[in-house]
Every structure is written in C-alpha cells, then in structure tokens.
Structure 1
Amino acid sequence: MQVLVRDNNVEQALRVLKKKMQREGVFREMKQRRAYEKPSERRAREATEAIRRARKLARKKAQQEGLLPRPKRKQPEQRTPRVAAPAL
C-alpha cells in the first residue's frame, strides 16, 4: 500500500492511509490475529459472516425489486453560515 505525501502534509497522508487500510480490512485482521483462534471457532465465525452477507444481499435485492421499502435517507441539517467576529 502506498500513499504520496504532498507539500509535506503528513496529517493528510495519514488520514488517506488509515482510510485505505480500513477499506482493505487490515485493522479487522490485526484484531483477529491478536489471539489464537481455534479452527472450530474460525469455521463458526466464517459461517456466521457468510450468513450475514447472504441476508444483506437478499435484503438489497428485495429492495431493488420493490418487495421491501427502501430505508429512508436522513436529510442533511441546514447549516447556519458563520459570521466572522470583528477584529479588534
């Protein structure tokens, strides 16, 4: 994984790196590898994850076909413009 640092802006590069690592699942895998997981526990975990993915896919498909209502989107709050304080 590679992130370019532009204009010596290390903070922005770190944010981009963290976002990429989160998307790839690196943090989740690191958390799982902290302790030994028995093969039987691993199979059970992977089975439950597969069931969760299948249910999510079926739910999305039903929503696309109109069998289930789509979730309501949250309306973004109207922001009040900031007024700059007068300089003293």
Structure 2
Amino acid sequence: MQIIVRDNNVDQALRALKKKLQREGVYREMKLRRHYEKPSEKRARERAAAVRRARKMERKRMERDGIK
C-alpha cells in the first residue's frame, strides 16, 4: 500500500491512508483479532451477518418492487 504526500501535506496523506485502510477492512480485522475467537463463535457471527445481509437485500428488493 502506498500513499503519496503531495506538497508536504501530511494531513491529507494521513486522511487518505485512513480511508484506504477502512475501505480494505483493516480496522475491522484488527478489532476482531484483538481477542481470540473460538471457531464456533466465528461461525455464529458470520451466520448472523449473512442473515442480516439477506434481510437487508430482501427489504431493498421489496422496496424497489413497491411491495410493502
């Protein structure tokens, strides 16, 4: 990963770096890896996330189709 500092503007480069790290999910991964997570807990978390995603997609689809 590379961030270019232009015109000695470190603040702007730092903002760009933070945005890039967030987009790539580095912060989320750091948070998850802060403590050990049992494989069963990981599966449960991922399953719950999948359910949330599916519900959200279904809600969006129904809203788009005009079904309430």
TM-score for both structures, normalised by structure 2: 0.91
Percent identity, please.
68
One-letter amino acid matched to 1:43: R
Which secondary structure state, in structure 1, belongs to the residue aligned with residue 3 of structure 2? coil
One-letter amino acid matched to 1:2: Q
| Distance in structure 2 (CA, Å) of the matches to 1:51 and 1:2 | 36
Aligned to 2:27: 27
Structure number, greater radius of gyration = 1
> Which 4+ runs in 1 deviate beyond 6 A?
none
* 1:23 Cα offset (Å): 1.4
Which structure dedicates a bigger proportion of its chain to helix? 2
| Distance in structure 2 (CA, Å) of the matches to 1:4 and 1:63 | 42
Aligned to 2:55: 55
Stretches of structure 1 that go unaligned for 5 or more consecutive residues are 69-88
**Alignment RMSD:** 1.0
Total equivalences in the alignment: 68
* 1:8 Cα offset (Å): 0.8
| Distance in structure 2 (CA, Å) of the matches to 1:3 and 1:54 | 36
* 1:56 Cα offset (Å): 1.1
The aligned runs of 1:9-28 (5 Å cut-off) are: 9-28=9-28
Aligned to 1:85: none
Which secondary structure state, in structure 1, belongs to the residue aligned with residue 37 of structure 2? coil
* 1:21 Cα offset (Å): 1.0
TM-score for both structures, normalised by structure 1: 0.72
